[in-house]
């Protein structure tokens, strides 16, 4: 039987097992960097395959599947394993058993899918060259990003993998379809905290006060000009302030106003320049109006660049696996992903697995209490990634 057919056969044999694993993980979600039970579960599953999983960055798990000539080439496959602080409202048999914690970003799907891929590949070790490194990564949802910790601890060393591939569910894409994008794909993300300090007073006597509410209002409007007047129209940028707090009253001018927002873009040079402009513009405006503005920036993930050649190759592999009609081009997204850290070190590609099924009402976006997937995606994900790995390594 040709290798592609063998992989498809193994994938269909294992599909119900993968769904079982996904449901177990979904029912037992854990927050970022607290994925102890999840890591133990992954370790157990991999040990059953005869692999030698080892912990990394406390709750991460790394294992290798060696094919023929394991020294020849290594590639890495990554799944993130953490859940979100969201209360699930789906009424399903596998509903989260942990109050306020939910796999609302599909990391249960990524983890079970990669466990399925591991099963398939461990049955085919005489069919491919080199080594597949499996990376089960903690803390994707929380600063500083588990990817950065794993890289520090050597996940991409000894030997350095030739490439790394990551998969993410996509509730906008119908189940059965897979999406790719070469080059820039996801944005960098930085958190901006502003504290506007004025001088509080009676609402009826503004001349005796320095009103931080009025200063803060000017700052919010003025900072949008960094996007409209300083950013190149060809370079996507977004600045959103979602939290503004002034604890005055109808007749009380408060002493200070705090604001929090996010800045996102896909250009590292512009990112640094824009952050500088945000700082200086906010400070200068506040000074000009007699107040003061403290700016704190917490740097998040860098932008994600999909390696062109790698992405073209895995896309071709996907076309062979699911048919050209089921592979689609993705648009840039201003969402961010810590997979970006890997893309700064080695050729990386992050693709999307369709999980939407409108007929069955499975349409909720990620990070919502009603997010779910059409589990048919799990009949596709594990075999597809195994096929990509085998194609990358050669048989």
Residue placing its CB nearer to Ni ion in the complex, 63 or 105:
105
- Cβ proximity of 363 and 96 under 8 Å: no
Instruction: Return the range that interacts with Ni ion (CB under 5 A); candidates 103-111, 126-134, 258-266, 307-315.
Output: 103-111
> Cα separation of 282 and 284, whole Å?
6
Binding mask of the shown chain, residues 81 to 100, with x at each position contacting Ni ion by CB under 5 A: --------------------
What residues contact 48, with CB distance under 8 A and at least 6 apart?
A: none
Min. distance of Cβ 107 from Ni ion in angstroms?
Answer: 6
Residue placing its CB nearer to Ni ion in the complex, 7 or 105:
105
> Cα separation of 74 and 265, whole Å?
32
Determine, following the binding rule CB under 5 A, whether residue 105 of this chain makes contact with Ni ion.
Answer: yes
Residue placing its CB nearer to Ni ion in the complex, 122 or 333:
333
Instruction: Return the range that interacts with Ni ion (CB under 5 A); candidates 101-109, 237-245, 294-302, 327-335.
Output: 101-109
Q: Which residue is nearest to Ni ion (CB)?
A: 105
What residues contact 94, with CB distance under 8 A and at least 6 apart?
A: 22, 23, 24, 26, 27
Total site size for Ni ion, rule CB under 5 A:
1
Instruction: Return the range that interacts with Ni ion (CB under 5 A); candidates 104-112, 129-137, 305-313, 356-364.
Output: 104-112
79 C-beta neighbours (distance < 10 Å), count:
27
Residue with token string 């998040």: 300
Taken as a whole, the chain contains a residue count of: 395
Instruction: Return the range that interacts with Ni ion (CB under 5 A); candidates 42-50, 84-92, 105-113, 318-326.
Output: 105-113
Min. distance of Cβ 32 from Ni ion in angstroms?
Answer: 11
Instruction: Return the range that interacts with Ni ion (CB under 5 A); candidates 102-110, 231-239, 296-304, 356-364.
Output: 102-110
Residue placing its CB nearer to Ni ion in the complex, 198 or 381:
381
Min. distance of Cβ 139 from Ni ion in angstroms?
Answer: 11
Residue placing its CB nearer to Ni ion in the complex, 191 or 273:
191
Residue placing its CB nearer to Ni ion in the complex, 21 or 393:
21
199 C-beta neighbours (distance < 10 Å), count:
16
Min. distance of Cβ 219 from Ni ion in angstroms?
Answer: 32
Min. distance of Cβ 357 from Ni ion in angstroms?
Answer: 19
What is the strand order of the sheet 164-174 is part of? 54-56, 60-66, 131-137, 74-80, 164-174, 348-356, 178-180, 327-329
Residue placing its CB nearer to Ni ion in the complex, 62 or 105:
105
> Cα separation of 386 and 391, whole Å?
9
Min. distance of Cβ 309 from Ni ion in angstroms?
Answer: 25
Residue placing its CB nearer to Ni ion in the complex, 122 or 188:
188
> Cα separation of 342 and 245, whole Å?
37
Determine, following the binding rule CB under 5 A, whether residue 286 of this chain makes contact with Ni ion.
Answer: no
Determine, following the binding rule CB under 5 A, whether residue 104 of this chain makes contact with Ni ion.
Answer: no
What residues contact 225, with CB distance under 8 A and at least 6 apart?
A: none
List the interface residues with Ni ion, window 320-359 (CB under 5 A). Answer: none
Min. distance of Cβ 79 from Ni ion in angstroms?
Answer: 10
Residue placing its CB nearer to Ni ion in the complex, 105 or 121:
105
Residue placing its CB nearer to Ni ion in the complex, 78 or 195:
78
Helix (H, G, I), strand (E, B) or coil at 361: coil
Min. distance of Cβ 263 from Ni ion in angstroms?
Answer: 20
For the range 273-281, what are the long-range contacts, defined as Cβ-Cβ under 8 Å and sequence gap of 24 or more?
A: 273/230, 274/226, 274/230, 274/231, 274/237, 275/190, 275/192, 277/226, 277/230, 278/192, 278/223, 278/226, 278/239, 281/219, 281/222, 281/223, 281/226
> Cα separation of 103 and 313, whole Å?
30
Min. distance of Cβ 168 from Ni ion in angstroms?
Answer: 6
Contact footprint for Ni ion (CB under 5 A): 105
């Amino acid at each position: 039987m040709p290798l592609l057919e063998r992989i498809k056969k193994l994938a269909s044999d294992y599909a119900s097992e993968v769904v079982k694993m996904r449901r177990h993980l979904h029912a037992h979600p854990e927050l970022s960097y607290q994925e102890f039970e999840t890591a133990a579960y992954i370790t157990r599953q991999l040990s059953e395959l005869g692999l030698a999983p080892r912990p990394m960055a406390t709750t991460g798990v790394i294992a290798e599947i060696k094919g023929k000539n394991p020294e020849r080439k290594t590639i890495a496959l990554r799944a993130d394993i953490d859940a979100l602080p969201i209360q699930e409202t789906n009424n399903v048999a596998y509903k989260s058993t942990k109050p306020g914690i939910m796999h609302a970003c599909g990391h249960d799907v990524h983890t079970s899918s990669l466990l399925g891929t591991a099963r398939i590949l461990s049955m085919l070790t005489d069919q491919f060259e080199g080594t597949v490194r499996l990376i089960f990564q903690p803390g994707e949802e929380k600063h500083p990003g588990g990817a950065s910790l794993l890289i520090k601890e050597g996940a991409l060393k000894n030997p350095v993998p030739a490439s790394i591939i990551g998969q993410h569910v996509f509730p906008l894409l119908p189940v059965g379809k897979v999406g790719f994008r070469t080059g820039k794909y996801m944005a960098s993300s930085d958190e901006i905290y502003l504290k506007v300090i004025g001088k509080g007073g009676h609402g009826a006597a503004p001349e005796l006060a320095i009103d931080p509410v009025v200063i803060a209002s000017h700052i919010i409007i003025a900072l949008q000009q960094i996007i409209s007047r300083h950013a190149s129209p060809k370079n996507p940028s977004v600045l959103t302030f979602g939290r503004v707090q002034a604890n005055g009253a109808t007749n009380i001018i408060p002493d200070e106003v705090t604001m929090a927002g996010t800045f996102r873009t896909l250009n590292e040079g512009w990112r640094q320049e824009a952050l500088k402009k945000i700082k200086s513009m906010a400070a200068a405006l506040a000074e000009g109006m007699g107040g003061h503005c403290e700016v704190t920036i917490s740097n998040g993930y860098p932008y994600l660049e999909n390696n062109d050649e790698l992405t073209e190759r895995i896309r071709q592999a996907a076309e062979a696996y699911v048919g050209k009609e089921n592979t689609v081009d993705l648009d840039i997204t201003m969402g961010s992903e810590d997979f970006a850290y890997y893309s700064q070190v080695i050729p990386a590609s992050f693709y999307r697995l369709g999980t939407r099924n409108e007929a069955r009402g499975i349409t909720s976006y990620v990070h919502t209490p009603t997010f779910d997937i059409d589990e048919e995606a799990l009949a596709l994900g594990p075999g597809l990634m195994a096929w990509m790995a085998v194609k990358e390594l050669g048989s």
